[in-house]
Amino acid sequence: MENTNSASSLRYLDPVTVSRLKNMEMRARLVVEGFITGLHKSPYHGFSVEFAEHRLYNPGDELRHVDWKVYAKTDRHYVKQYEEETNLHHYVVLDTSASMQYRHAGNLSKLEYGAFLAAALHFLMILQRDATGLLSFDSEIQTFLRPRSTMRYLREILLHLERLVKTRSTETYTGTAHALHQVAERIRRRSLIVVISDLIEESDSQENIVRALRHLRHRGHEVLIFRILEKETERWLHLPDQPMILQDMESGSELSLHPGQLRKAYTERMNALTEMLKRQCLKHRIDYLELDTGVPYDTALVAYLNKRKTLH
């Protein structure tokens, strides 16, 4: 018989379920708790991670930080971790441009999906005592919160993510390449840069994105890309085979078309651009994972933990 608490926790890896929760802190907490519950289940059997929330007491530590409940159980003095005690810095770089507002059949926009993923990543990073910071961009960087590793700071990040979801970008274009070049210039300390974006721009801009990613690697950063798409329509153009008008999310321009007449050419072009991006990421040792807005969050969290393990 399935454990009720386990089943309940695993529900919170589902994006639609997460979207119904009250606030960003609750979303992040329950996604991570559901993820940890499921780590021992297939397909992640044997995968484990230790969350160091305490360390042994050292002379000079403040007694108010001693965890007396742990002492009662172990007869040893441990202090709770509050301050940054790590050499590993993370930045989550979230695309908040107008194209990320897109939703189709699903209940979540790409921005909502990406922001909820960002919240869970920040929560997971703090549990591991890693310093984490947040950047957001549309045509250029809009948010720059430098990494820290305290729970108080985590709440500040989560509140900011909450506001980003509720604020619609007014920019008429996405400047992914420009923004990533800015990130490379502004972050001087070697860090893990987690980029959450649809990476959708004019086809001739894809090479510029690759150059910006190379710039990040040239500055010594590790890079992990989560590409967020509503795959049915954006990847495969699965729209009704009838005349329709599509509106550009950023410029507002409209295009009359019949999806059935364009689907083959569209998907071939989309596949070619995607394969080019994958090849370049592989060549420059950049981790790349494409996510649909309906995919549970454990896929991305496992990819993050696997990446983190390589950095020690």
Q: How many domains does the chain have?
A: 2
Residue 3 lies in a domain: no
pLDDT of residue 204: 62
Q: Does the pLDDT at position 159 exceed 60?
A: yes
Q: Same domain, yes or no, for 122 and 238?
A: yes
Q: How far is CA 1 from CA 4, 6, 137, in A?
A: 9, 11, 47
113 pLDDT tier (thresholds 50, 70, 90): very high
Residue-level pLDDT at 297: 95
pLDDT at 134: 98
Where residue 203 sits, what CATH number does that domain have? 3.40.50.410
Please tell me whether residues 70 and 201 are part of one structural domain: no
pLDDT, tens digit (0-9, with 9 covering 90-100), for 41-59: 544 433 444 444 555 666 6
Residue 38 pLDDT class (50, 70, 90 cuts) = confident
Q: Is residue 34 part of a domain?
A: no
> How far is CA 119 from each of CA 30, 248, 266, rounded to the nearest angstrom?
11, 28, 33
Do 236 and 196 fall within a single domain? yes
**How sure is the predictor about 7, in pLDDT bands with cuts at 50, 70 and 90?**
low
Residue 83, pLDDT score: 41
End-to-end CA distance of the chain: 39
C-alpha distances out from residue 293 to 16, 101, 121, 228, 282, Å: 9, 12, 16, 7, 24
Q: pLDDT for 301-312, tens place per residue?
A: 999 999 988 886
Spatial distance between the Cα atoms of 46 and 127, rounded to a whole number of angstroms:
20
- For the segment 67-93, the average pLDDT, to the nearest whole number, is 67
Q: Are residues 183 and 277 in the same domain?
A: yes
Query: Token match 């708790």: residue?
Result: 33
More confident residue, 15 or 238: 15
Q: What is the pLDDT of residue 47?
A: 40
Are 194 and 145 in a shared domain?
A: yes
Q: Above 50 in pLDDT, residue 170?
A: yes
What are the tens digits of pLDDT across the range 267-295? 998 899 999 999 999 999 999 999 999 99
Mark whether 118 and 210 lie in a shared domain: yes
Residue 139 and residue 267 share a domain: yes
| Domain co-membership, 129 together with 271 | yes
One domain, residues 96 and 195:
yes
Mean pLDDT of 79-100: 75
Structural domain range at position 69: 57-81
| Rg over CA atoms, the chain | 21
Per residue in 187-221, pLDDT (tens digit) is 999 999 999 999 987 756 788 999 999 999 999 99
**Mean pLDDT across the chain:** 83
Residue 156 lies inside a defined structural domain of this protein: yes
Comparing 104 with 183, which gets the higher pLDDT?
Answer: 183
Q: Is the pLDDT of residue 63 over 70?
A: no
> 67 and 178: one domain?
no
In this structure, are 179 and 303 located in the same domain?
A: yes
| Cβ atoms of residues 244 and 259 within 8 Å | yes
The mean per-residue pLDDT over the stretch 90-104 comes to 92
Residue at 2 is within a domain: no
Tell me, yes or no, whether 108 and 203 share the same domain: yes
Counting residues of the chain whose pLDDT is more than 70, the rounded percentage is 78
How much is the average pLDDT of 95-113?
89
- 67 within domain boundaries: yes
Lowest mean pLDDT among 100-114, 232-246, 259-273: 232-246
Q: Is 1 within the bounds of a domain?
A: no
Lowest mean pLDDT among 123-132, 242-251, 252-261: 242-251
In this predicted structure, the answer to whether residue 298 has a pLDDT above a threshold of 90 is yes
With contact defined as beta carbons under 8 Å apart, do 254 and 176 qualify? no
Is 120 within a domain? yes
pLDDT tier at 167 (50, 70, 90 boundaries)?
Answer: confident
The residue among 158 and 203 whose pLDDT is bigger is 158
- Let me know if residue 272 belongs to a domain: yes
Residue 131 confidence (pLDDT): 92
- The model's pTM is 0.82
